[in-house]
Amino acid sequence: MADTVSEQATAATASTPAPTPATPAPEKAPGNVKEGSSTAEQGGVEGSGKECEGAIGGARRDPDIKKELGESDEEDEGEEDDEDYDYDEEEEDDDDEDQEGFMSMLQNFLMSRLHIGSHPDVPQVLESVSVEGMVQYLKSGQVKNVITMAGAGISTSAGIPDFRTPGTGLYSNLEKYKLPYPEAIFDIEYFKTNPKPFFVLARELYPGTFNPTPSHLFIKLLHDKGLLLRHYTQNIDTLEHVAGIPGDKLVEAHGTFRTSHCLTCHKEYTQEWMKEEIFQDKIPKCTGEECNGLVKPDIVFFRESLPLRFFQMTQVDFPKCDLLIILGTSLTVQPFAMLVDNVPATCPRLLVNREKAGSIDPMVALLQGMANPGGLTLDSPHNKRDVVLLGECDEGCAKLADMLGWKEDFEKLLPASK
């Protein structure tokens, strides 16, 4: 459904208690990562403007002095408009650029001196820290165990909304359900008291009505080439199964719609049974003897634990990984996001996403006393292994397939996504 319902951000913070209905704490949408000035900053600018009103280009003259000098208000205003205002506006822009440049230079200097985000003694595997370097590494024969990590971004082209994009994201379009806060639709405690909003949404976004995207098929191609160790997904849309990736190659970190269980007696139900109940506009109830408990798909809600398989397989897989490919995720949801730090220190990491993600601000890390704060080191001067391919996931996967010489094999898989 979403992070599929695509990036089951619902499960997103499964290991961290969700906000209570009384004190909602909405999460940021990926579209909000590109932050503008804060409200406080905007207020400060407005305040300064009022305090300095009429003082652009110098102090305001007293009206009586103007009369003595024979000056008119129009002339004074004209002089300000023609001579001073544009000049000061340009000067302010230059000051802003200078300040940004200085902060960037200071940041890089501190990172370099303090080795923030670096592993000084670790050799560099890539010949060049670039997309071309990643492709060359993949073609070299050294890569045997690729792990892919995916979020909502690989499913949006199938018509499944992500969670946080303003306007189109799932959380932006839940007004009709009259929820106390958007995340409540995936909150286990709210579900127990009012399950109807979830099941209405489930009908709209039910797995089986969407087809896999080129991104899913690129992961399938990695499997066909004998390179895929495991695919970790936050999505609950089951499109990996539809794409033909074997079940033993999948770790569905935020659960699945393929099975359901009664919350009271834990009786198991099939996907077909759950689908029939949902599409008949029923609230699924247990059919067990003397039990009328709610039946919930085995997707992970807020306040629920992630599947045991997630924790078991991460311990086995990540130490073996020799290339990590991260697709279509903002890397903000824990514990999924921290998996990027579980690969060996030499393992190259490729992010295919609309924007950079997964990096901890080095200045914040410095203030918190963290010499190696974790996350991707895309902007670190010591970066030896992290590369980002910006853009839509489908386009990025097609580009990689082409650069790897797999274009023909990739295109053979594409009809399955139509």
3-class SS at 130? coil
Q: Are 300 and 307 in contact (CB under 8 A)?
A: yes
The annotation status of 347 as a binding-site residue, yes or no, is no
Which of 115, 241, 254, 382 is the catalytic position? 254
Pairing mode of beta strands 6-7, 3-4: antiparallel
The annotation status of 265 as a binding-site residue, yes or no, is yes
| Residue 268: alpha-carbon gap to chain centroid | 32
254 tagged catalytic: yes
- For the beta carbon of residue 54, count every other beta carbon within 10 angstroms: 12
- Side by side, which strands form the sheet with 250-252? 250-252, 228-233, 146-150, 323-327, 349-353, 386-390
Q: How far apart are CA 79 and CA 57, in angstroms?
A: 10
The annotation status of 262 as a binding-site residue, yes or no, is yes
DSSP letter assigned to residue 415? G
Angle of the 131-139 helix axis to the 393-403 helix axis, nearest 10: 50
Residue 382 neighbours by CB under 8 Å, 6+ apart: 111, 112, 115, 116, 117, 118, 119, 120
Q: How far apart are CA 265 and CA 268, in angstroms?
A: 9
3-class SS at 418? coil
Q: What is the token pair recorded at 1? A: 């459904």
Q: What is the token pair recorded at 262? A: 């009664």
By the 10 Å C-beta count (0-12 exposed, 13-18 middle, 19+ buried), 30 is classed as buried
Q: How far apart are CA 379 and CA 387, in angstroms?
A: 10
To which H or E segment does residue 61 belong? none
Active site residues: 254
Annotated binding site for Zn(2+): 262, 265, 286, 291
Annotated binding site: 262, 265, 286, 291
